[in-house]
C-alpha cells in the first residue's frame, strides 16, 4: 500500500471537482481526502499502486464538463497515517497564489429540464443553477470559491437545498449558486411612472414582462452579470423609440432568440457558428441575414449581418416561454462608453429616461460582464469582445515568447488600453488574465471601475 499527495491547479473550484474526486476515489475503494487549498486542490490518496494509477488516469480523463486541469503534481508520502475512508475536507485559506475563477456559464440541460417540469420544485424558477452551470465570476468576492465569499451568501439555504448541498453524490454538492424559490433570489417588476419607479404586484413577472414587451414597451432587465435593454424586434415604432432615447442612430442592436431553429428562420448559420451559439459560453455571434429576414428596419439598419445569441440564463428561457416573437433586442444597459449598470439603484435611477419598465432581482452582481461578441472569418473564430463566458479564464503563454525574451515566463506585467472599450491584462506566472471590456477612458465611471 502506498500514499500519494496530488496537487491540482486549474479550473477546479466551483465546478464539481471535489465530488468528482470523491466519486472516483470511492469507486476504486481508495481512502484519503480531498480539499481546496486556496487556489489548488489537494488530494491525499491511499491504496494499491494499480488503483492509484487508475485514479490519476481517471482524474485527468473523466473531468466534469467545466473543470480544467492546468497542472498536476504528485508526491509519494512516507509514514502517512492510515485512513479509514475517503472524505471531503473543509476548505483552507492557507495557500495563496494564482487562482482561476471559473467564468459564468449557460444553464445546463438538467437545470433547464427542471424549470420546465411542473412537478419539479424548481419549476419556473429563474435562478436555477448547479455545479455544472450558472454564475461564477460575476458573484465571487474572493477565493477559495465558497458560498460565504459570493453574493449568494445573502441567501441562506433552505432545508431541502441544504440536503442537496451537503450530499457529495448530488449535482448540487457545494454548488455555491444553488438555490430555490424558498431560499433564493426573486424577481420584481417596476413601472417607470414619470421617472418614478412604482412596484407592480405580479403573480408571474416573466409572463407580464413578455406581454408588455410584445405590446411595445421597453424594458431594463437585470440578468446574471449585467443589465439589458430589451424590446421586441418586430415593432418598428418601439425600436425607433429605443434608438431615440439612447441617442444611438445607426449602430446595430444584438438580439436573442429562443432556440437555434428560430435563428435559422432569419439568418444563415454554419456548423461552426451553430456550435458557438450553443456552447456553454453563449456569445453573441455575428450572422448573415437570410432572405426571410423580416425584423423591424431599425434593428440593424443597412447591414447584411445581425448579432445573435441564444438564452443563457434560466430567466431568458422562461421569458421566451411566454411569447411567439422570433427575437428580442438585448443590448447592454449603459450610458454609451461607460460601464454597464449593475445595481438596482443605478438601474432604477439612471435608466428612467430609457426604460418603460424594469425587471430586477435582489442578487447583487459583483463583477459586471458584458455579453461576448464573436464572428467567424474564413471559418475561424475571432472575438470582437471577449467577456462573459470567457473571462477571467487566462491564456497560458508559458514558453511561447521566451524566444523573444528569455525572461518572459518570469515577468509580471499590467497592460491597459485602448481609450475606447478599455480592457486590462495581468501577466503572472506566464498566464495572461484578460479582463472584460469596461468602457471608454474619457468617462469618469470607467476609471472608478478600473
In the complex, which residues of this chain contact Zn ion (CB under 5 A)?
A: 108, 111, 130, 132-133, 158, 161, 180, 182-183
CB closer to Zn ion out of 134 and 144: 134
CB closer to Zn ion out of 310 and 340: 310
CB closer to Zn ion out of 147 and 386: 147
Instruction: For residue 132, give Cα distances in angstroms to 239, 256, 257.
Output: 36, 23, 23
- What is the rounded CA–CA span in Å between residue 3 and residue 256? 52
Residue with cell 471537482: 17
CB of 220 to Zn ion, least distance (A): 26
Using a 10 angstrom Cβ sphere, with 0-12 exposed, 13-18 middle and 19 or more buried, the burial of residue 313 is buried
CB of 277 to Zn ion, least distance (A): 19
CB of 316 to Zn ion, least distance (A): 14
CB 423 within 8 A of CB 436: yes
Query: Which helix (H) or strand (E) is 10 found in, with range?
Result: strand 2-11
CB closer to Zn ion out of 158 and 426: 158
CB of 116 to Zn ion, least distance (A): 13
- What is the rounded CA–CA span in Å between residue 165 and residue 107? 18
CB of 283 to Zn ion, least distance (A): 19
CB of 137 to Zn ion, least distance (A): 16
CB closer to Zn ion out of 175 and 287: 175
Using a 10 angstrom Cβ sphere, with 0-12 exposed, 13-18 middle and 19 or more buried, the burial of residue 235 is buried
The 10 Å Cβ neighbour count of residue 104 is 30
- What is the rounded CA–CA span in Å between residue 391 and residue 281? 10
Nearest to 186 by CA among 412, 398, 361: 361
- What is the rounded CA–CA span in Å between residue 204 and residue 188? 10
CB closer to Zn ion out of 44 and 177: 177
CB closer to Zn ion out of 172 and 386: 172
CB of 148 to Zn ion, least distance (A): 17
Amino acid at each position: 500500500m502506498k500514499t500519494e499527495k496530488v496537487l491540482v491547479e486549474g479550473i477546479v473550484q466551483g465546478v464539481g471537482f471535489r465530488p468528482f474526486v470523491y466519486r472516483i476515489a470511492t469507486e476504486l475503494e481508495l481512502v484519503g481526502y480531498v480539499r481546496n487549498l486556496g487556489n489548488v486542490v489537494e488530494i491525499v490518496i491511499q491504496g494499491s499502486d494499480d488503483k492509484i494509477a487508475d485514479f490519476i488516469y481517471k482524474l485527468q480523463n473523466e473531468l466534469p464538463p467545466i473543470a480544467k486541469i492546468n497542472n498536476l503534481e504528485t508526491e509519494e508520502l512516507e509514514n502517512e497515517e492510515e485512513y479509514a475512508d475517503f472524505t471531503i475536507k473543509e476548505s483552507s485559506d492557507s495557500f495563496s497564489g494564482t487562482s482561476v475563477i471559473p467564468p459564468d456559464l449557460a444553464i445546463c440541460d438538467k437545470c433547464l429540464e427542471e424549470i420546465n417540469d411542473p412537478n419539479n420544485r424548481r419549476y419556473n424558477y429563474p435562478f436555477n443553477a448547479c455545479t455544472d452551470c450558472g454564475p461564477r465570476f460575476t458573484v465571487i468576492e474572493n477565493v477559495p470559491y465558497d458560498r460565504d465569499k459570493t453574493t449568494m451568501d445573502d441567501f441562506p439555504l433552505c432545508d431541502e437545498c441544504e440536503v442537496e448541498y451537503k450530499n457529495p453524490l448530488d449535482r448540487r454538492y457545494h454548488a455555491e449558486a444553488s438555490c430555490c424559490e424558498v431560499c433564493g433570489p426573486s424577481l420584481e417588476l417596476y413601472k417607470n411612472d414619470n421617472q418614478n419607479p412604482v412596484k407592480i404586484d405580479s403573480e408571474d413577472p416573466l409572463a407580464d414582462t413578455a406581454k408588455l414587451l410584445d405590446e411595445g414597451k421597453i424594458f431594463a432587465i437585470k440578468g446574471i452579470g449585467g443589465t439589458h435593454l430589451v424590446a421586441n424586434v418586430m415593432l418598428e415604432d418601439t425600436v425607433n423609440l429605443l434608438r431615440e432615447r439612447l441617442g444611438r442612430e445607426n449602430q446595430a442592436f444584438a438580439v436573442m432568440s429562443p432556440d437555434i431553429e428560430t435563428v435559422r428562420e432569419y439568418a444563415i448559420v454554419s456548423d461552426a457558428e451553430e456550435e458557438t451559439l450553443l456552447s456553454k459560453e453563449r456569445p453573441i455571434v455575428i450572422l448573415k441575414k437570410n432572405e426571410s429576414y423580416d425584423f423591424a428596419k431599425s434593428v440593424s439598419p443597412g447591414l447584411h449581418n445581425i448579432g445573435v445569441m441564444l438564452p443563457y440564463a434560466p430567466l431568458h428561457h422562461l421569458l421566451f416561454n411566454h411569447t411567439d416573437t422570433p427575437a428580442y433586442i438585448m443590448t447592454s444597459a449603459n450610458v454609451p462608453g461607460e460601464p454597464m449598470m449593475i445595481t438596482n439603484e443605478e438601474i432604477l435611477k439612471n435608466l428612467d429616461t430609457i426604460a418603460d419598465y424594469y425587471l430586477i432581482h435582489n442578487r447583487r452582481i459583483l463583477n459586471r460582464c458584458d455579453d461576448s461578441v464573436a464572428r467567424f472569418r474564413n471559418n475561424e473564430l475571432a472575438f470582437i469582445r471577449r467577456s462573459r463566458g470567457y473571462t477571467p479564464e487566462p491564456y497560458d503563454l508559458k514558453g511561447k515568447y521566451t524566444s523573444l525574451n528569455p525572461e518572459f515566463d518570469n515577468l509580471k506585467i499590467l497592460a491597459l488600453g485602448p481609450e475606447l472599450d478599455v480592457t486590462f491584462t495581468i501577466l503572472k506566472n506566464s498566464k495572461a488574465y484578460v479582463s472584460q471590456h469596461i468602457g471608454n477612458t474619457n468617462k469618469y465611471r470607467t476609471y472608478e471601475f478600473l
